[in-house]
Structure 1
């Protein structure tokens, strides 16, 4: 024991290098353990991924809900029909055509743009029972959006300008036609009064507003309505 103490007293300076060597050895061991732990961790992860892939391969992929595309197509078709019905409210109603003549005037830039957009949307609409490709469906959807926007712009402009594009004499004819139209569809008027008023309406509008065959047919049906029959008196008690 005394010899060891004498040795330690003479060679005390060896403590520092020995301490450094010891700590270095400990650090090396710890580093090796850490690397080994990381390697085992990577191997475990790889094994888990492989097992997961094998399970996924053996299990059929879940079916994708296909009706979503069909639902979208029906929604676009309903949007298409809605715009067309809004347009027909003008096209088939002579009173509205007189009030907003620009809606039937293809010379108006916005009306012409709307009519072109309508033609494009109508041509791209899938036939009944047809399942269009995704590209064709997108093209149709974009066309219907353009159709709706073009209609709203044309309608807004027609309500703004009204009969501003006509001369004072032409506007007077439009006002006369609107008044006569009220008589032509008035069930309180006689059949002869209605027929005379109807003919005058057609004369006043000739050369000013183009009426479609359907609009004329609808107007003639209203003019041809019979006067309501009088209710027979109830028999005396």
Structure 2
């Protein structure tokens, strides 16, 4: 052991200059480990946040079923309400949520501003789309349709989940905005937003609007997938004819 210690100090004395690069390597390794640990911590927090929001959504959905949630028009299935009146209220709430979703789905400006609302890879958006699919599948053909009490209860639960899932997804999309994109992608989104203003500007010529529309599509290609319905709405806005000029007043006799 003594010989080993003496050999070590002899080596250290002869190659003392190796201490500096070794310290640099150790420092770099420590920083890399710290970054990896931080990334793991952030990913863990994100998973906890998503699970927490979905659990909150579950509790809110149960509250909605008791008539104490954020949507008082959804009433308790056990309340003394005629089945057709209950279905009317539920279907009205169902339609309202769908209309709020379509405000994003069909409005390209909103999709650019809040891209997560159209991105099924986002967990909360995916949860909302699943809730929508379930509510749509359980929706009766009409408010006076003959459905069982169990089916009404299932539809009540589905609409409650649909409402909460939308609120959570919308809140998350407004929090994220374009933060999931790279700097270059964010610049493309910004250009697309500015070009979109020209594309739907009634004071611009039809040629100017058409060129701006084509460039909007180019900027969004690979970033945001526009639905066929959103493209159709946008193309109608772009193709609008310019307002006719006001007639000149006749010269006074």
1:100 to 108, 114, 122: 114
The list of structure 1 runs, each at least 4 consecutive aligned residues, that deviate by more than 3 angstroms after superposition, is none
SS of corresponding position for 1:74? helix
Identify the residue that residue 23 of structure 1 maps to in structure 2: none
Corresponding position: 1:230 with 2:239: no
Please give the alpha-carbon distance, in whole angstroms, between the structure 2 residues aligned to 1:91 and 1:75: 24
Q: CA RMSD in A?
A: 1.2
Identify the residue that residue 157 of structure 1 maps to in structure 2: 172
Aligned pairs for 1:61-210 (under 5 A) are: 68-128=82-142, 129-210=144-225
Over residues 159-198 of structure 1, what are the superposed CA-to-partner deviations in whole Å (9 max), with x where a residue is unaligned?
A: 0110111111111100000000000000111111101000
SS of corresponding position for 2:131? helix
Identify the residue that residue 221 of structure 1 maps to in structure 2: 236
Structure 1 residues not aligned, in runs of 5+: 1-65
Please give the alpha-carbon distance, in whole angstroms, between the structure 2 residues aligned to 1:233 and 1:200: 37
Please give the alpha-carbon distance, in whole angstroms, between the structure 1 residues aligned to 2:233 and 2:221: 17
Over residues 177-221 of structure 1, what are the superposed CA-to-partner deviations in whole Å (9 max), with x where a residue is unaligned?
A: 000000000011111110100000000001100101110000001
Structure 2 residues not aligned, in runs of 5+: 1-79
What's the offset of the Cα at 1:82? Answer: 0.3
Please give the alpha-carbon distance, in whole angstroms, between the structure 2 residues aligned to 1:67 and 1:235: 66
Q: How many pairs does the alignment contain?
A: 172
Please give the alpha-carbon distance, in whole angstroms, between the structure 2 residues aligned to 1:230 and 1:95: 28
TM-score (norm. length: structure 2): 0.66
SS of corresponding position for 1:228? coil
Over residues 56-104 of structure 1, what are the superposed CA-to-partner deviations in whole Å (9 max), with x where a residue is unaligned?
A: xxxxxxxxxx972210110000000000000000000000000000000
**In terms of Rg, which structure is larger?**
1
Please give the alpha-carbon distance, in whole angstroms, between the structure 1 residues aligned to 2:88 and 2:206: 46
Please give the alpha-carbon distance, in whole angstroms, between the structure 1 residues aligned to 2:156 and 2:107: 29
SS of corresponding position for 1:186? coil
SS of corresponding position for 2:82? helix
TM-score (norm. length: structure 1): 0.71
Identify the residue that residue 52 of structure 1 maps to in structure 2: none
